[in-house]
Amino acid sequence: MPKTKQPKPAEKKCWSESFGVYGAKIRIAERVPGGRLSLLWLDKEGKQQKRTLGHRDRKKARQQALELAGAMAGAAGHGPVALQPEKPAEPLTLAKGVAQAFDPEHGMYPGRTRHAKQAKTLAERAVAILGKRLTWAELTPGKVLYLVRMLARDSRKGEGARSAEYTCVTLYAVAAWLRGEGLIPETAALPRPGWKTKLKEEWRVATGRRVECHQPRHSVDEVAAIFAALPQGDPRLRLLVELAAELRAGQAVRGKRSDLHLDDTGGFRLGRFVVHGAGKKHGEVVDLHDELRALVDEVLSTGYLAEAEAAFQRREIEDYFLFPAGKLRRGSVPLERVSRQALGTTAIRKMFVAVEAIAGVEHVDGRAFYGLRRQATDLAPEFASDARVLNRLSGHLDSATRERVYQEKENRRARARARAAETRQRMRRYLREPDRPDLDHAA
């Protein structure tokens, strides 16, 4: 099957700026976006000359350009000249900065993802409150507190503290990107240490409601009922939960066939599933145990991925999503859709709510897949005590102390992954027991 050509993202333009007067004009330019800077000018014969500066500091480059332009102006007999940029840059306003940061081609995000859309909405809301003409240099910690107070004033019953915090996080993230691009001063819009704690206190004073972290979780019996109901739900959700109930669903759901290794590897020598991290969110490697490998084989041979796997083995397609988006057709994913995109958050939530209904588990807002992961975090210590194993199970980073142990790092991680796989298998078997012993009283 011929591959669909994907449109190439627009290339980012190189930055440049000119200084000086006629006959003594200097241009600063990048060779590649974000690359090292050079000074370019025309000599007396009209030939272009170039001096590579060997650094990327635009502020320093401007000073060097002014010095060279001043020397050239003096040599040309212009006398002392107050040299300024050809087009003095006006202080960047919040509105223009947000527009540049969320530009689909040259902005801080690689595409129109759900996360990017949410962040853009929050940033624009902040601009509407603070004023479009406010500059980034004027965005002081006091202005951010004012933003929090206005959001608190508009809240209902004191709700919305998490959204307010994320709005401020987004605003500071945009500022960091703008500073990196040299579009605002290096000292502009810098957060104070401990600003999140101050935000929560402001919210409490303004609303009379203390900000508490709400993390609802399923009970052990509810988790067991959900696992029992998985075969009756969407098969994509079943595979996702079995593979990654203890991990971050948003990372695992983007998994592709190339992330599934079915050779003689892993703690059980039955294969592995690689969950890639994103940013500060650490990924993980899931070693397949007996039951998990049997489910994977079933899905690839006769399940919803059978057609995709057959095409993959025939090398008609290079790769495909393990959890592709769209409706199933007679229990299978049409071949033309397996490589387009993975399931979205909304689709996963709907599938999970449907399984909860089958299991007779009440749906609670803010719980869903997260409720499984939180309960797994609580349940896992009953089956393993080694903190490294628990980290491998849930995809959390190792602590600095464990990183300093005199043990070869990769071997240690491999052993921890294998033991995490054993723990995962034991937890699954416990949840499937009809007469589960009370762990508080278990031998």
In SS3 terms, 252-304 reads as HCCCEHHHEECCCCCCCCCCEEEECCECCECCEEEECCHHHHHHHHHHHHCCC
Domain ranges of the chain: 1-89, 94-207, 223-432
- pLDDT bracket for residue 209 (50, 70, 90): low
Q: Which pLDDT belongs to residue 411? A: 43
Mean pLDDT of 46-51: 81
Number of CB atoms found within 10 A of residue 208's CB: 10
Q: Which pLDDT belongs to residue 202? A: 85
SS3 call for 329:
strand
Identity of the amino acid at 333 = V
Could you tell me the fold of the domain covering 223-432?
hpI Integrase; Chain A (1.10.443)
Specify the range with the lowest mean pLDDT, choosing from 70-84, 124-138, 140-154: 70-84
Cα–Cα dist 262/300, whole Å:
11
**pTM higher than 0.75, yes or no?**
no
pLDDT in tens, 391-406: 433 344 443 333 333 2
